[in-house]
Amino acid sequence: MSLTLERILHSQGISTRRACRALILAGRVTVHDSLRTDPFSTFEADELKGLHFCVDGQAWQYQTHVTLMMHKPTGYECSRAPSAHSSVFELLPLPFLNRGIQPVGRLDQDTSGLLLFTDDGKLNHKLSAPKYHVPKVYHVTTSEPVTQALVDCLLNGVVLKDSPQRVAALSAAQIGDKTLSLTISEGKYHQVKRMIAAAGHHVRALQRVQIGELTLPDDLEPGNWQYLDELEFKKLF
């Protein structure tokens, strides 16, 4: 399989094919730091992996499917049509939106932390569907001091209105006077908040810090994103 430079840019969400052709002809595209002005120059399949290109100085890397992580700040909804707050999609470059990238699961507007995006539907389903039991770790700040009774209650399971069986945390541990680490895998609606409430406490702040073995990088600031590298991708499973 080979692709023309015009098709490569279009496949990465840069713009329409006609607009991509115009960008190349105008000398606004480089591939591996080399100016390319022929929109019909071709690249073989073995060249596509690791292919880096720039459009108007903005660097991109070719990916059949794009998967990235964001440090989601509070005050943003995981929706393209938010109801009352800004959208997390406003924090991403337009090419990602053009290629149909979607969040893997959702975080409430008042929840921060690790949020994944991908345009790979099968991957999205495997990471978010409850039957795959991908663990997710949250740091929970409560209004009341954390007690051993709260931790035990979460580990033993609580009753939620929409669940006929007790819902238990995979792990729970106190990490501060009013903070605890909580691991779940089901991903029910507002699950962490509802579990804490069912145990007699209230959530003041919530941050997701881990999915699978992938942790939120310390140097990834709120509102910023980065591609997942091969090692980070493997940590998801």
Distance from C-alpha of 206 to C-alpha of 158, rounded to nearest angstrom: 19
Q: DSSP strand E in the chain: where?
A: 2-4, 29-31, 34-35, 42-44, 52-55, 58-61, 67-72, 76-77, 86-87, 102-103, 111-118, 136-142, 171-176, 179-184, 203-211, 214-215, 225-227
The CA-atom distances, in angstroms, between 169 and each of 106, 183, 190, 192 are 19, 6, 14, 9
108 in active site: yes
172, 151 Cβ separation under 8 angstroms:
yes
Residue type, 93: P
The CA-atom distances, in angstroms, between 195 and each of 77, 98, 115, 140, 165 are 22, 37, 21, 11, 13
Prediction pTM value: 0.91
pLDDT tens string, the chain, 237 residues long: the values are 789 999 999 999 999 999 999 999 999 999 999 999 999 999 998 889 889 999 999 999 999 999 999 999 999 999 988 888 999 999 999 999 999 999 998 899 999 999 999 999 999 998 887 778 899 999 999 999 999 999 999 999 999 987 778 999 999 999 999 999 999 988 778 899 999 999 999 999 999 999 999 999 999 999 999 999 889 988 988
Distance from C-alpha of 226 to C-alpha of 237, rounded to nearest angstrom: 19
Ordered by where they begin, the domains of the chain are 2-61 (3.10.290.10), 67-130+214-235 (3.30.70.580), 135-211 (3.30.70.1560)
Quick one: which of 168, 198, 172 has its CA closest to 185?
A: 168
DSSP-assigned letter for residue 61 = E
**Which of 38, 46, 108, 120 is labelled catalytic?**
108
